[in-house]
Amino acid sequence: MKTKLLLLFIVPFLVLSCKSKSDIIYFQTLGNSNITDQAINYEPKITPDDQLSISVSAADPEAVANFNLPALSYLTPGEKQLAVTPSLQTYLVDQNGNIDFPIIGKLTVAGLTRQQLAEQLKEKISVYVTDPLVNVQIMNFKVNVIGEVTTPGSFPVASDRISILDAISLAGDLTIYGNRSNVLLIRENNGKKEFYRYDLTDPALFSSPYYYLQQNDVIYVEPNKSRQGNSKYNQNKQFNISVMSTVISAVSVITSLCIALIK
């Protein structure tokens, strides 16, 4: 029993001790080199199923009232509240990449950036209103991080851009068992799945066209060999315990039968 308890403490220590620096250090060989960020001007583009908040303002608020969706208040049936906070309505981009905008009608917005859509709407609304201001926001922008990270989950993004490092930071960084040289990106683009592998130990990461993420991207951090080995060891251990329990139970039953027959 003491030997088993000792192994439980020694094995994890040996596993961590045997890991080389090259397995856990980010951006190796970076030094003082200058890396050009080719994706510095990246802006996310609107895609189907995005929820857009579009507000139009002008010097005369009444002139743009018809271009803004009314804020609605919702009450659960049977619920009594003294005050209800209005909820801002959003435009859902359909599978064809379109939205229906008041007065303007159907607009194809998929593939546009927020700024491009704002400029397009400003031009169309200017026919009816002098100097309108248009603000566009993607309300359901999120990224998902799973696997060997401290706190896996889905994370909402309030800004225009989020990098792979930002996403990993939101998830609390990789665990000691995360494979830093083979992080997987899963992205849906025009109805098709795209896959890309990051090497977090390589400074070339900063120049990757996938450095910045898109809405609904999934980041998967796979376990390293140490974790996979431990998992296999634990499975074998559980199997052996199960077999031993079965054998002991069988011996107990046979013993009881023998005692009963002797009596």
pLDDT tens over the chain, length 263 residues: 545 444 444 444 444 444 555 667 888 876 655 655 555 668 889 999 999 999 999 999 999 999 998 876 655 566 555 555 556 789 999 999 999 999 999 999 999 999 999 999 999 999 999 999 999 999 999 999 999 999 999 999 988 889 999 999 999 999 999 999 999 999 988 788 999 999 999 998 998 999 999 999 999 999 988 766 665 545 545 545 555 666 566 666 676 666 666 65
Cβ contacts of 50 within 8 Å, gap of 6 or more: 92, 93, 138, 140, 141, 215
Q: Are 148 and 174 in contact (CB under 8 A)?
A: yes
User: Which 3 state secondary structure label does DSSP give 72?
Assistant: strand
User: Considering the domain boundaries, does residue 163 fall inside one?
Assistant: yes
Q: Assess whether 177 and 128 both reside in one domain.
A: no
- Which pLDDT does position 24 carry in this prediction? 72
Q: Are 192 and 211 in contact (CB under 8 A)?
A: no
Q: Are strands 153-156 and 142-147 parallel, antiparallel or unpaired?
A: antiparallel
Q: Please list, residue by residue across 230-250, b when 16 or more beta carbons sit within 10 angstroms of its beta carbon and e when fewer do.
A: eeeeeeeeeeeeeeeeeeeee
User: Considering the domain boundaries, does residue 61 fall inside one?
Assistant: yes
Q: The whole model's pTM is what? A: 0.70
Q: Assess whether 108 and 124 both reside in one domain.
A: yes
In the block, which residue shows the tokens 């992205």?
187
Q: Where are the alpha helices (DSSP H) in 59-157?
A: 114-125
Cβ contacts of 196 within 8 Å, gap of 6 or more: 184, 185, 187, 208, 210
φ, ψ dihedrals at 226, nearest 5°: -65, -45
Residue type (1 letter), 100:
D
Q: Assess whether 165 and 134 both reside in one domain.
A: no
Domain that holds residue 194: 2-34+141-223
User: Considering the domain boundaries, does residue 237 fall inside one?
Assistant: no
- Which pLDDT does position 87 carry in this prediction? 65
- Which pLDDT does position 185 carry in this prediction? 97
User: Considering the domain boundaries, does residue 177 fall inside one?
Assistant: yes
User: Considering the domain boundaries, does residue 190 fall inside one?
Assistant: yes
Nearest to 216 by CA among 46, 91, 54, 96: 46
Domain tally for the chain? 2
In the block, which residue shows the tokens 């439980």?
8
Q: Assess whether 63 and 190 both reside in one domain.
A: no
CATH of the domain at 118: 3.30.1950.10
User: Considering the domain boundaries, does residue 209 fall inside one?
Assistant: yes
